[in-house]
Structure 1
Amino acid sequence: MNEPKNPSEIAREALKRLAVRHMAPTPANFQACYNEIANLPNVAPFPDQQLRQLALELKARNEAQEKALGELDAAIGRRTWSGVQEAFLDFVAAGEKSNSRAGDPAVVLPVLPAELATKLARFVECILPALGDENERVTATAADFLQALRQPSVEIPVVQGKLALMTHQVLFAAEEQVEIKESLLNLLHLIIENIGELSLDDHWLKGQIDGLLVAVAPPLTLRHLDEMERRLRDVLVKQHEAKTRSIEVQEEMRQMLAAFIERLSTMNASSESFQGKIEESARQIEKVERIEELAPLLKDVIVATRSMAEESARSREQLRSLQDKVLSTEAELAHLHRELDSASALARHDPLTDALNRKGLDEALAREIASMRRKETPLSVCLLDIDNFKKLNDRLGHEAGDNALIHLANVARRCMRPTDTLARYGGEEFIILMPDTQLEQGIDAMVRLQRELTRAFFLSGKDKVLITFSAGVALLQQDESGADAIKRADQAMYLAKRAGKNRVMGA
């Protein structure tokens, strides 16, 4: 059973996750990542400061509104949404009553500028589709707010009251949408895993299952989903071809077997007929008294023998043809299955860099560890992380960032041995497995890769960009799991970052 992580480890992993997901390091984002790693519910904090700032902007125009503002302050202090909503509604109602009093020309309420009202209405219309149309309260509140904003003139206190009510409804609707999305993803995972469990012998389906599990793992990106959809469609097309051809082959095999049985039956009938003719000829020969009577009988025997020989030759030729056809059909079917296995293998590779993905890495790591322990040879595990990748993304754009990842993967492949394995571990993190390699040799290999990167500049447009990385190398111990070795390599990589980056350290 895994020991629980201490808060400092969780905080460090949360900061790394923010960087991998290219999220702004705000308190809310950090809290969300921290809760995700620690398996804690991600409950949005009560916005005390924002509500108090909003309350300060509200100006009471009568005693009822002053009382409502006091109730609002108390509700914020108690952190009760229902109290906040009630206080806002009381404030708006008190303002509307004040507006309805006739003969009070002294009261002049500020009006929301028409341009701002139009933009605010457009903003409400844009966020509504994201909230869905299942919540009738949100729909009704939004419709009421939009109706007010589309009036020729609308007073600011009215807008403030309706905006507060709308904000309250949107908050709960957004939280519900997040929960629905997480529940659907969990349900999808269960369905996909269950399909995989029911189809253990289908290698092509296993590749598709692996790809789907990777595709639905957060964070979800449209580019990743589109790429996985394209690859899985290729697999499905090939699977359909193989299935259709398999059915055709089964029918061909059935027909060939029927023809084979028919030919055997024909051969047997011909043999029995030949045997009967020979026996009859033998009986007639025994009765021959003159030599002249023997000639026609011998001629019949020769004709029957020649006919039997020709029939046997035809049967052998037909059987040989059937055998060739069976072998050809089997070869075609094997070729289709090889193509299908090749297409399924794509589901184990990262679509951007063509390095192994996490699933492919797990399989390669298990294979290398088994080989290491069987042969009693060393295995070094390296984790490298591109330096200042977020700055590169921010300065040159995400497309340039993707091209930088592809460039690093290509340079790494040129420097690696055929026995080494490259895998993309995270956003800008890569794992390199180096079998038959001691720790010092692994460190030297990563230093050589760093030198090669200084010579092979990455081109972004016409600009030459120097890419560097920090790396940690761990020598896998005999009783150590792959995950633990990667963790030690990650710690060494972190020390390399702290030491000034563009360094390699051993664990």
Structure 2
Amino acid sequence: MSDKKPFEIARETLKQLTAGKLLPTPLNYQKIYNEIAGIPQMPQFPMETLRDIAQALPTKTPGQQKQRGLLEYAIDRMNWDGVKAALVAYGGFVPPPAEAGSGAASPGTLPGGAGDTTLLSQGAPALTPEFFKQVGRMIEFLQPALGNDDARFMEQTDTLLKAVKKPDVDAVQVKQLLVSYSDRLSFVAEDQAEIRKTLLKLLHLVFENIGELSIDNQWLSGQMDALKAASGPPLTLRRLDEVERKLKDVIFKQKDAKGHAVQAQEDMRKMLATFVERLSQITQSTGNFHAKLEESARLIEQAKTITEIAPVLKEVVGATRDMAYDSKVSRDELVAMRERAQATETEIAKLHQELDRVSAQSRHDSLTGALNRKGLDEAMEREVSNVRRKETPLCVSLLDIDNFKQLNDSLGHAVGDNALAHLATVARECMRPQDTLARYGGEEFVILMPDTAMEKGIEAMTRLQRELTKRFFLAGEDKVLITFSAGVAQLATDEKGSDAIRRADQSMYLAKRSGKNRVVGS
């Protein structure tokens, strides 16, 4: 290693380039620089050669497939350590050599030399063109979620799609392409997951920043907390819709509150302007009053008789009255303006409280925290739209607490309300994140279960019944067993959400008549 400083080495490198009449290319510069600095010469990374080697490696086992994918990934990033690790690991998955004389192909394989395709099991169904079309559709459906930032991945996708769409599909070629594609797909999926995670962090930072900037506005800070809670993982389209609605509420509040704040500032500005104007008038009046007093004192000193003093005293009394009247008028006007400013401030505070109350109650039931009828209608519309778009099942369950009137009559309405809240709490804990709980009215609740067929919907309601038997409701020190009867309906093609709820309601009454604490499908 040379003792020269980097700038000295660079200067000497340029001199030698000039003296040797060499082109100032990065390769020439690096070579001379390394010679002067005493740095070992490193060969240029042979990317294309290594790619050819990677493509030539057989992938007959899952281990070989994975290691070749890691090798290609390291080559793309010109990472010698990654190349070395992938090649060393690949050697551990090389199968033992076949016995001599075993030239016949083993059962369940397609002849094809080094690229033989081993079927999943002996007697597996043939790989039909329809199968490859399904593979192509699956890959096309994946594209929107994976983005188009990776040019090499897009190139691999295009090549694979063309291969599977050929009328005479080459199964061996498609297998090789799929192996390479699946490895690359795993890396792209990891990148997309990291991107999603980072974007979610950025979203939370925005919410936190808005909350910090509005620390004096408790109404806005509360909304920011709700937004952060709604945007927490697992992040689904349903939760994003909830974030959008809450954010719209915040924006509406900000606009409305800003308008009132601007009005309050304008009132304050007018009050201050009036105050300054009145202060100026008072100052002027006081100056005039003092001038009149001085003039009156001079006249009194010059007066020789009472008759001459009387007019002067009358003028002094009149000036004093005018001064007092002006002061009273100014004071009354300032007091009125101050009261108006205080009233505006009080109005803004009440507005914030009312907006918070209305925002919290617009879609949620205040007793149980579940969605109310309005929130249910919005959720149902969203779920039905998803069913039509994705062609997935949707189960609707309507449940009614058994003997609720008797519970109210014997233990009181307050206990009945607590029982409703208890049921809602247990139901939320048993539900999946994508399920929706709504209070339909009285002691009735509706649960929307997307991506759920009838049989699974009935199983879910049965699990909730079992959970309620384990978690007794406490009325004071007494344990009260709460049960419910439920009807379950799967949304039919072209059926309205309200019709599905109606069918679930009819099934719920059948469960009641069958002995209660039952689940009946529609």
Could you state the TM-score of these two structures normalised by the residue count of structure 1? Answer: 0.51
Of stretches 225-234 and 266-275 in structure 1, the one that deviates more from structure 2 is 266-275
Q: Is this contact kept in 2: 1:192–1:212, CA < 8 A?
A: yes
User: Compared with structure 1, are the counterparts of its residues 129 and 93 closer, same or farther at alpha carbon in structure 2 (3 Å cutoff)?
Assistant: farther
- Offset at 1:136? 3.1
Match of residue 241 from structure 1: 256
- Offset at 1:214? 1.7
1:134-173 to 2 correspondences below 5 Å: 134-173=149-188
1:315-326 to 2 correspondences below 5 Å: 315-326=330-341
- Offset at 1:247? 4.2
Match of residue 181 from structure 1: 196
The one of 199, 205, 213 equivalent to 2:228 is 213
Match of residue 300 from structure 1: 315
1:400 to 2:396 alignment: yes
Q: Secondary structure at the match of 1:400?
A: strand
Q: What is the alpha-carbon distance in structure 2 between the residues aligned to residue 329 and residue 207 of structure 1?
A: 23
- Offset at 1:251? 4.4
- Offset at 1:212? 2.2
- Offset at 1:398? 4.5
Letter in 2 for 1:428: R
User: Compared with structure 1, are the counterparts of its residues 232 and 190 closer, same or farther at alpha carbon in structure 2 (3 Å cutoff)?
Assistant: closer
Match of residue 237 from structure 2: 222
Q: What is the alpha-carbon distance in structure 2 between the residues aligned to residue 304 and residue 141 of structure 1?
A: 99
Higher relative contact order (CA 8 A, sep 6+): 1
1:454-469 to 2 correspondences below 5 Å: 460-462=501-503, 463-466=505-508
The one of 270, 276, 286 equivalent to 2:285 is 270
- Offset at 1:143? 0.8
Letter in 1 for 2:288: S
Q: Is this contact kept in 2: 1:189–1:213, CA < 8 A?
A: yes
Q: What is the alpha-carbon distance in structure 1 between the residues aligned to residue 394 and residue 242 of structure 2?
A: 17
Q: Is this contact kept in 2: 1:245–1:333, CA < 8 A?
A: yes
- Offset at 1:197? 5.9
- Offset at 1:426? 7.3
Q: What is the alpha-carbon distance in structure 2 between the residues aligned to residue 155 and residue 182 of structure 1?
A: 39
Q: What is the alpha-carbon distance in structure 2 between the residues aligned to residue 329 and residue 159 of structure 1?
A: 73
Q: Is this contact kept in 1: 2:132–2:164, CA < 8 A?
A: yes
Q: What is the alpha-carbon distance in structure 1 between the residues aligned to residue 226 and residue 313 of structure 2?
A: 77
Q: What is the alpha-carbon distance in structure 2 between the residues aligned to residue 443 and residue 464 of structure 1?
A: 36
Q: Is this contact kept in 2: 1:112–1:155, CA < 8 A?
A: no
Q: Secondary structure at the match of 1:281?
A: helix
Q: Secondary structure at the match of 1:274?
A: helix
Q: Is this contact kept in 1: 2:211–2:221, CA < 8 A?
A: yes
User: Compared with structure 1, are the counterparts of its residues 328 and 199 closer, same or farther at alpha carbon in structure 2 (3 Å cutoff)?
Assistant: closer
User: Compared with structure 1, are the counterparts of its residues 356 and 197 closer, same or farther at alpha carbon in structure 2 (3 Å cutoff)?
Assistant: farther
Letter in 2 for 1:146: L
- Offset at 1:131? 1.9
Q: Is this contact kept in 1: 2:230–2:242, CA < 8 A?
A: no
Please tell me whether Structure 1 or Structure 2 has the larger radius of gyration of its CA atoms.
2
The one of 123, 138, 141 equivalent to 2:138 is 123
Q: Is this contact kept in 1: 2:136–2:161, CA < 8 A?
A: yes
Q: What is the alpha-carbon distance in structure 1 between the residues aligned to residue 262 and residue 399 of structure 2?
A: 47
Letter in 2 for 1:461: R
- Offset at 1:207? 1.5
Q: Is this contact kept in 1: 2:231–2:239, CA < 8 A?
A: no
Where does the alignment leave 5 or more consecutive residues of structure 1 unmatched? 1-67, 99-110, 359-395, 432-437, 468-500, 503-507
Q: Is this contact kept in 2: 1:260–1:319, CA < 8 A?
A: yes
- Aligned length, in residue pairs: 337
User: Compared with structure 1, are the counterparts of its residues 314 and 354 closer, same or farther at alpha carbon in structure 2 (3 Å cutoff)?
Assistant: closer
% same residue: 34
Match of residue 475 from structure 2: 441
- Offset at 1:304? 2.6
Match of residue 257 from structure 1: 272
Deviation readout 1:232-251 (Å, 9 max, x if unpaired): 21122212332343344234
- Offset at 1:263? 1.7
RMSD of the alignment, in Å? 5.3
Q: Is this contact kept in 2: 1:148–1:154, CA < 8 A?
A: yes
Deviation readout 1:264-323 (Å, 9 max, x if unpaired): 342243234224324533543454445654564455345434433442343233223323
User: Compared with structure 1, are the counterparts of its residues 457 and 285 closer, same or farther at alpha carbon in structure 2 (3 Å cutoff)?
Assistant: farther
User: Compared with structure 1, are the counterparts of its residues 80 and 72 closer, same or farther at alpha carbon in structure 2 (3 Å cutoff)?
Assistant: closer
Q: Secondary structure at the match of 1:153?
A: coil
1:314 to 2:355 alignment: no
Q: Is this contact kept in 2: 1:274–1:304, CA < 8 A?
A: yes
Q: Secondary structure at the match of 2:233?
A: coil
Letter in 1 for 2:237: L
Q: What is the alpha-carbon distance in structure 2 between the residues aligned to residue 457 and residue 175 of structure 1?
A: 39
- Offset at 1:81? 1.4
Where does the alignment leave 5 or more consecutive residues of structure 2 unmatched? 1-55, 71-89, 95-108, 117-125, 371-391, 432-471, 490-499, 510-516
Q: What is the alpha-carbon distance in structure 2 between the residues aligned to residue 217 and residue 317 of structure 1?
A: 55
Letter in 2 for 1:338: Q
Q: Secondary structure at the match of 1:461?
A: helix
Q: What is the alpha-carbon distance in structure 2 between the residues aligned to residue 418 and residue 151 of structure 1?
A: 67
Match of residue 11 from structure 1: none
